Amino acid sequence: QVLDPSKKSQQIRWRAAMVEVREPQDYLDVLQQQRGGFAFDNCNRNAYLAKQAGTKAPTAMKSGTTICGVQLKDAVILAADTRATEGPMVADKNCEKLHYIADNIFCAGAGTAADLEHTTQLMESQMELMRLATGTQPRVCTVVRRLSTTLFKYQGYVGCALVLGGVDVNGPHLYQIYPHGSTDMLPFTTMGSGSLAAMAILESEYREDLTIEEGKALVAKAIRAGIFNDLGSGGNIDVCVITKEGGTIFRNMEKPCPRKFKAAYKPFPKGATPILKEHILKLVTIESGDVTMSG
């Protein structure tokens, strides 16, 4: 194989740029070499390899959600919107973002829908097996530890941002779990693309002595703020109340954005579209019980 001289010289220049080592001239160069931070040494190499392979690096798809939770004296209340997005499009107007884990533990999820569904179902299965094996009610800290370990193992590539709440023998608990595996235990929290708007409501109106009805109204107001101020959030408001007796999901407790106008015209009746021509291809012919393919 004979290379074109121009291409050969170009490859030599690229390789020279890739292996070029700069000798330190003074103490500032030595200091610069010892500094931490991101190294850009391989940028030229990566650009060359991408150009040669003709590939494009994958880009992350933006997800949108508003979820929140508050911890009361003897209960935990979670809430979420119901909009599922696929990039700039609304994929589902009324999806369910409140996930069952155990009778006394629920979570609200933001991030990648498939990752959330499978991760919470896996945790539900594990908690049920543990309940059957030990004969005791699962604790909230057990679920948090297992979720944190699982997510950390995947280094953030499993897109699960969770607000997890439950009531066990130690009382009510509310946790925030990030996709990389870090956790926070908080009296109130929000997550998702509309979390800033929701947090503004919770920070200004949360109290430790809230009743369950006041807590439901507060989380609904926080989700409403996320719906009206974030394009990635929308649809209806789901609320989950968890007490020592168990959890109850109030599906579509509020519908802040109902459709006000419908199409004025009636749809076309069936059979209104005329058939211009009809042609049937006979791909199979049967002769004396044997099937032969035509063509």
Q: Alpha-carbon distance 264 to 46, whole Å?
A: 57
Beta bridge partners of 177: 162, 183
Q: Alpha-carbon distance 77 to 174, whole Å?
A: 9
Q: Which residues are catalytic?
A: 65
With b for 16 or more beta-carbon neighbours within 10 A and e for fewer, the 263-283 pattern comes to eeeeeeeeeeeeeeeeeeeee
Q: Alpha-carbon distance 110 to 8, whole Å?
A: 51
Neighbours of 295 (CB within 10 A): 5
What the block records as the tokens of 295 is 């063509």
DSSP assignment of 100-116 equals: EEETTEEEEEEE-HHHH
In this structure, are residues 104 and 244 in contact, taking their beta carbons and an 8 Å threshold? yes
**Angle value at C-alpha 186, between 184 and 190, nearest 5 degrees:** 85
What the block records as the tokens of 39 is 């190294």
